[in-house]
A and B are shown apart, each in its own frame.
Chain A
Amino acid sequence: MTALSRGARALFLLGAAVFFGLPLLWLLLAPTRTADDLTTGAPLGFGSLGNVGDAWAHLTSYNDGEITLWIGNSVIYAAASVVLALLLCVPAGYVLAKHDFAGRRTLLTLSIVTMILPPAALVLPLYLEMSAVNLTGTVWAVILPLSFYPFGVYLAFLHFQANLPDSLLDAGRVDGASELRLFWSVALPLARPAIALIAFFGFVRCWTEFFLPFVMLSDDRTFTLQLGLMSLLQSTGAVNNSSGFADLDIHQPEAALAGLVACAPLLIGFVLAQRFLRTGLLAGAEKG
C-alpha cells in the first residue's frame, strides 16, 4: 500500500469518525454546561463537572428519584428477554441449520414475515393476548413478546450453517451421542460468536424498545427507562419549553445526561460483544 493511499484511507476513516462522533461528543459535553450556554455558547464548549452532579440531582428530583426505579426495571426486562431469547434462538437456529424436518422451510419463511411486520399492526392483538391471560401491566407482557426474536434465530442459523460442519456431528453420532447431547457438547461450544451477536442486538432491541412498554404498561412505577424518560423529559419541558411546565429544574443539560445514562449500557454491551466476538472468531479459526 502506498503512503498516499494509506493517507487517504486514514483521512476517510477519520472523517467518518468525526461525522459519527461529533453528535455524541456534543451530548457528552452537554451535561457539563448550562442550558443558557447550550444555546448561546460555543457548540463544543465545556462547562464544569459540578454541573453534571447538579443535573443528576435534578433528574432524581422527579417523582422521588423514579429514574433509578426505571433503570432497575429496564435491566430486569432486558436481561430476562435476552436470556429467554437466547434460550429460544440458539437451539432453533441450530436445528434449522443442521436438521431436515417437515415444517423447516415454513418456519424460516414465517420468521421473515413476522420480522418485518410494522408494529402498529401488533398493538391490539398483543394487548388482547396479554389481557386474556391477565398479564397486561406485568413484566411478562413486555418480556414474553420481546423474547420472540426471529432475527436472532437467523443469526444463529447462519452461524451454524457456516461454521459447524456436518462431519463433526456425524462423528459424534458414530460415538453414540444422542441428538440433544450433540447440541449441548458439539454445537453449543462453537456458538460463542453467534451468542455474542444475538445477545448484543437482542439487548439493544429490548433496551431501546418503546412501543411494547408504551402499550402494555400503565403504571409509571413499572415503566422502562425509555418510557419513563420520555415521560420525564416531556412533562418538564426539558427538550423544548412548550411540551410541559414544571417547577422542577430539569432542562436541556438534564435531558442530555438522561440520554447518556440511557445509552451507556448499549456502548458497554458493544465493547463486551466485540471482545466475545473476537475471541470466538479466533477460536473458530483455530478449530477450522
Chain B
Amino acid sequence: MPASALYSKLHTDSEYKLLQLDSTLLKALENEGKLAFKAAKESDSVVLCSKSNTWTLKQKNHSNTVLVMREFVPDEIPKIENWSSLDVREPSGFSLGFTKQSYELEPRLTTGEINYGTLPIYSGEAHKVSGASGLPSATCLSLEDLRKCSPCSDEEFAQKWPALGGCVVNGVACILSREFVSRALHITLMSCMAESLSFEDLDESQAFAAVNKDMGEAGEFNPFSKEVISTILGKFCSRSPLGKFKLQKETISQWYGIEALKKFASRVSIPQDEFMIKWKSLFPPYFSCDLDFRALRGYYYRPLGSCIQYFSKETLPDDPKERFSYLFKLQSTWDLDEIAPFIDQLNTKGIKIESFVMKYARRKRQGKRITVSAR
C-alpha cells in the first residue's frame, strides 16, 4: 500500500481560509472568473459579490483538527528504519500541512443593499446638496465610491440605485427628495407628451431634450440635469436590452396615488370614491393610466369603515406585539390584504401570511374575505 509521510509546519500559516463553494458560488466563479469581498467599513460584516449576486458570509466554527496539506519534497528524506516498526513500506510521497483551519465560511445568497442612509438629499435647489435628515456631516461620495462600499453586486446596484431615487449632483452621489422626484416626473411626463415621444420606446437623450426645451432660457438655474432625468427614467421605466426605456405605468400610478393620499387624506379621512377622483386629478392632463387602488395597500387605513386615511409604515413600532396592537388601535378590524403590507417585514421566517397573523391576532373567514382583528 503506498504511504505518504505527513509533515506539518510548526507554525502554520494564518492567511488561508476555507470557503464553502455551493453551486451558486461555483457557477459564478466559473462564469465570471472573479468574486469580490465587500464591506461598508472595515468593521462591518463582509459580503461576497459576483456581477449579479450577493452572499452574506457566516463563520462556522468547529473544534476538529483540519489540516490543509500539499505535496512536497523535503530537503532531507528520512531513513527507512524509522518506518519499519509500522509495518509499512518506505513512504512514496510527502505531504506538508501548511495551514490549520478552525472554521469554514458559509455563503448565503442574499439581496444586495445600498448604503444610502448617510447620503445627502437633493431637492433641486441651485448648487446645493443638503445633508441627510439635517445632518451637517452627510457623506459626500462619488458614485463609484458608493458602489465600492455598498454590500451589493454591480447589477443589483445598477437596478436599485435609480429605484431609490439615487442621482449624481455636482459629482456627489445623493438621493433625490420625494418632492423633487414628483416634480421631475411630472415635468418629464408632460414634456414627453408635448413632444409626442412614445412611452413604449423612450430614448434618454430625447427625453432630456424634451424636458429642457423651455428651461433655463433666461439664464436661471435648471435643476433637471441629464442625471436627474436618467434617475427618473430608471425609477419609473423598465429598460430594454437596446437601452431604450418603457414607462411602467403601474409604478407611476402608485407614485401619484401615494402623493394623493399624502395631499388629500393625511389629516382627515376621505371616502374612497372621492379619493379616486382626487388621485386622477394629480396626473398630467391627457396622461392615461389605470388606477388600481390595491397598489396603495400599505399606505392607508380605514378609521371609519369605508373612508381612508394616509398612514406611513415608518411610524410603526418594530416589536411584532406592539405593532399589531398599534394597528388595531387605528382600526379594529382589517382585511388581511390590507394589513399584510404593514406586517410583512415581521414575518422573517417566511411563513404564509395567513398563518403568521394567527400568532398575534384573530383571523376570521367571511366567504372569500379574510379579516383580522385583535384577540
Q: Do A and B come from one complex?
A: no
